[in-house]
């Protein structure tokens, strides 16, 4: 009898561990996906210097919708760190982490408090806008000059377009992921 | 579209209008008959060139503290970055700028080139 109790206990523990492992693996798969997207995206030529599609951010957004805010931040942080290791160096890391952090925090807050009033693409647009504002903030700080803000109108237009697109993408990805039984 | 979306869209539109307006005001303030290119490395001004007075093309290199470089080409009325050792070459891709308010930035090398419409560093002439 005692053995049975212990066995079930062990089973429960194993179940808990299983969940943890599953989550960890899922997280690392997401980070890898984000990193690969980030690296491929860096090769795509852009219309205007400094503009980017920001496809890698869709993974962060999916993590926020699917797992939670902590996981979204972890993915963003790891992706930026690994991304700048593969190409970019320390200064690139500083630029992207500032933008990424600000945009993720904005998206997290909007999702947490206004989930029922805002659609996902709009939350993504807000994230993209704040990503650019955050990056320009770091640029202005590093160059010690506010002139760089003449780029803001261009970047805002780009942010709205790409942010909306990324939001739709993240929504589709989330719906597909929800259907996978293993992840439940 | 949900209810809150409209509010966010309106806020975004207002932000757009403010930023476009701010840029236009800045370009208007800086407008003038002259073209003074100001080259800044880090937070100090390295060189100022009056682009209207440049006759021959000139190429020169600006080095940062940690041995990175940007090669700048100055022509009559315009300025551009010709070569750089930065990763994404965005300063080179920005091409040449010729109007007051134009801006070239190389972030990894902390280089910034801007064009002013008027000479800020001193009075060239005055009439009474």
- Give the pLDDT confidence of A129-164 residue by residue, as tens digits: 998 888 888 888 888 777 888 888 888 888 899 999
pLDDT for the residue numbered B70: 85
Show the tokens assigned to A94. 């500083």
Element (H or E) spanning B37, and its range? strand B36-41
Of A62, A26, A56, nearest to A170 (Cα)?
Answer: A62
Prediction pTM value: 0.80
Of A73, A51, A49, A47, nearest to A60 (Cα)?
Answer: A73
ipTM: 0.74
Which residues span the domain enclosing A44? 2-183
Query: Mean pLDDT in each 10-residue stretch from start to end of chain B (128 residues)?
Result: 83 90 84 82 82 83 82 86 81 83 82 78 51
Enumerate the residues of chain B whose CB falls inside 8 A of the CB of residue A142.
107, 110
- For residue A13, the domain's CATH number is 1.10.1760.20
Residue of B8, B41, B117, B120 to mutate when probing chain A, most A C-beta within 10 A: B8
pLDDT for the residue numbered A108: 92
Number of domains comprising chain A: 1
- Scan for tokens 């949900």, then name that residue: B2
DSSP code of B108?
T
Nearest C-alpha in B relative to A86: B87
- First CA to last CA across chain A, in angstroms? 32
What is the CATH class of B34-116? mainly beta
The minimal CB distance from B19 to the residues A92, A122, A156 is found for A156
């Amino acid at each position: 009898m005692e053995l049975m109790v212990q066995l079930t206990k062990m089973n429960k523990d194993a179940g808990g561990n299983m969940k943890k492992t599953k989550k960890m693996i899922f997280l690392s798969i997401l980070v890898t996906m984000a990193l690969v997207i980030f690296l491929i995206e860096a090769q795509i030529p852009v219309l205007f210097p400094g503009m980017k599609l920001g496809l890698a951010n869709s993974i962060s957004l999916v993590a926020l919708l699917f797992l939670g805010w902590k996981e979204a931040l972890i993915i963003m942080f790891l992706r930026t760190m690994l991304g700048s290791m593969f190409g970019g160096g320390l200064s690139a890391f500083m630029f992207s982490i500032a933008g990424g952090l600000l945009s993720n925090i904005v998206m997290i807050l909007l999702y947490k408090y206004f989930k029922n009033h805002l659609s996902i693409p709009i939350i993504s647009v807000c994230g993209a806008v704040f990503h650019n504002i955050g990056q320009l903030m770091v640029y202005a700080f590093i160059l010690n000059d506010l002139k760089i803000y003449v780029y803001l109108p261009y970047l805002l237009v780009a942010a709205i377009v790409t942010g909306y697109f990324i939001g739709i993408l993240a929504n589709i990805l989330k719906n597909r992921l929800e259907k996978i039984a293993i992840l439940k | 579209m949900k209810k809150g979306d409209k509010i966010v869209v309106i806020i975004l539109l207002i932000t757009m209008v403010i930023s476009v307006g701010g840029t236009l005001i800045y370009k208007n303030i800086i407008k003038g008959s002259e073209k003074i290119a100001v080259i800044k490395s880090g937070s100090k001004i390295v060189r100022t060139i009056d682009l209207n007075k440049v006759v021959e093309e000139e190429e020169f290199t600006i080095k940062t503290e940690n041995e990175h470089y940007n090669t700048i080409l100055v022509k009559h009325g315009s300025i551009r970055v010709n070569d750089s050792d930065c990763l994404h070459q965005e300063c080179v891709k920005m091409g040449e700028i010729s109007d007051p308010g134009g801006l070239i930035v190389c972030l990894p090398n902390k280089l910034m080139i801007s064009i002013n419409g008027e000479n800020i560093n001193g009075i060239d002439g005055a009439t009474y």
